[in-house]
Structure 1
Amino acid sequence: MLPLAPIAAAAIGPLAETALTSVAAPRVAAGAQIAAASFGDMLQQFASGTVDSLKKSEATAIAGVEGKTSTQNIVSAVMQAERDLHTAIALRDKAVAAYQEISRMAI
C-alpha cells in the first residue's frame, strides 16, 4: 500500500482507500506485463478502448430511443463515454504540448 493511504483514508474516507489501492494494484499485479508493453501499445489499447466505449454509448442511446433500455443505463453509458473522451482529449493536448516543447529545443 502507498505511504499516504492511511492519511488519505482518514481525510477522505473509504473512497480514497479504494482509489489508492486501484492505482497501486496494477503495478504490483502485472509488473512484468507492464514492463514488457511499450508506450505505443498502451496508447493503442487506450484508443481502441475509447472507441469501443463511444460505440457502446451510441448503441445504448439508440436502444433507449427505441425503448429497449432504461434511462439509467443510457446516462451511465453516455457519462462513461464522456469521461473517456475527455481523457483522450487531455492526452492529445499533452502530446501536442510535448511535441511543441521538443521542437523549440536548440540542437
Structure 2
Amino acid sequence: DGAADWVVRQSLALPGVELPCRVRFDAASRRLLIPGYGNGALGVVDLDRDGGFAAAARVVAFTGGGPDPERQDGPHAHDALALAAGIGVTDLGADVLRILDPTTLA
C-alpha cells in the first residue's frame, strides 16, 4: 500500500497535557515543546545527544480565561516557541503570550 513501516523506539507520557496540538523542536536547547490546547498546560521534554528522551517530561499548567466566556472559559495553550527571552507560549483561552524561564518554567 506504499505506507512506511514505523518503529517506536521510545514513548513518553505527558501527564497533565490535554489535547497536545503541536510539537516544536528547540534545536539550540535540545528539547521538545508540547502545548496542551485542552487545558493550557505545557510539556517540556529534554533530549539526549542521540535525540532520545533524557528525562521525564516537565509540565507546567496555566490558569485564566479571556474576554469571551463562551470560547475562553479557561487556558488553551496553542503553540510554544523558543525565544531569546525564554519559552513563549501563546494561550488562546486567556488571550495572552506567556514568556517562561526555560529552566524553572516560571
> If the length of structure 1 is used for normalisation, what is the TM-score?
0.18
| Bigger-Rg structure (1/2) | 1
Q: Greater helix percent: which structure?
A: 1
Structure with greater strand share of residues: 2
Which structure's relative contact order is higher, taking Cα pairs within 8 Å and 6+ residues apart?
2
